[in-house]
Amino acid sequence: MLGLGRRPSRVIGPGPAVTEPAPELSSAVARANVSPMIYRGELTVATQGRGTYDITEDVRRIVAGSRAIEGLATIWIAHTSASLIVCENADPSVRSDLEAFVARLVPDGDKLFRHDAEGADDMPAHVRSVLTQTSIGVPIARGKLVLGTWQGLYLWEHRTAPHERRLTISVIGE
């Protein structure tokens, strides 16, 4: 418990608990460490089944709507059988080659899997999702996503049937 006029302490470790006063921050430093803006946008993507779906422009529109000049956009997909990737956007054969590789790595109907309640692609879709990612962070500079010349953001649907996928884009910046 802090008494009046005392600064908070922090534990310095490892080893026995030793405390020292926390450093004072100047008002300019304290202000620089507080984000003035958090913005959240949502996106729904209707997939037509297994494959990649370019979401770059949709994410750009949401980031533009945030009016953040500098910051970070985090794209999150709320599903366990679809994922997000940053991938080359110039040659679609890159994405079809990725699909062919993953199909060989995690084939539908593999007898290894017991979880098949929703079909032969059920457990392979979960494995594909775990091997890729459900969240991607992209910096924002001068009001725009910082992506390389050949980079795009893609939702990767791992199920063979169409699904509606929900994404949340959180922007932290100023």
Per-residue model confidence (pLDDT) at position 95 = 97
The predicted-structure confidence for 112-164, as pLDDT tens digits, reads as follows 999 999 999 999 999 999 999 999 999 999 999 999 999 999 999 999 999 99
Q: Tell me the three state secondary structure of residue 63.
A: helix
Domain that residue 66 falls in: 33-173
Any alpha helices (H) in 11-51, and if so which ranges?
27-32
Per-residue model confidence (pLDDT) at position 7 = 39
Number of domains in the chain: 1
CB 124 within 8 A of CB 115: no
Per-residue model confidence (pLDDT) at position 36 = 63
Answer whether residue 150 is part of any domain.
Answer: yes
The predicted-structure confidence for 53-106, as pLDDT tens digits, reads as follows 999 999 999 999 999 999 999 999 999 999 999 999 999 999 999 999 999 999
Residue type, 142: R
Q: How do 151-157 and 18-21 pair as beta strands?
A: unpaired
Mean residue pLDDT of the chain comes to 86
CATH number at residue 38: 2.60.120.460
Residues recorded for the chain: 174
CA distance 145 to 62: 11
The residues, any chain, with a CB within 8 Å of residue 170's CB and separated by 6 or more, are 38, 39, 40, 73, 74, 76
pTM equals: 0.79
Answer whether residue 51 is part of any domain.
Answer: yes
Q: How do 37-46 and 51-54 pair as beta strands?
A: unpaired
Answer whether residue 157 is part of any domain.
Answer: yes
Answer whether residue 15 is part of any domain.
Answer: no
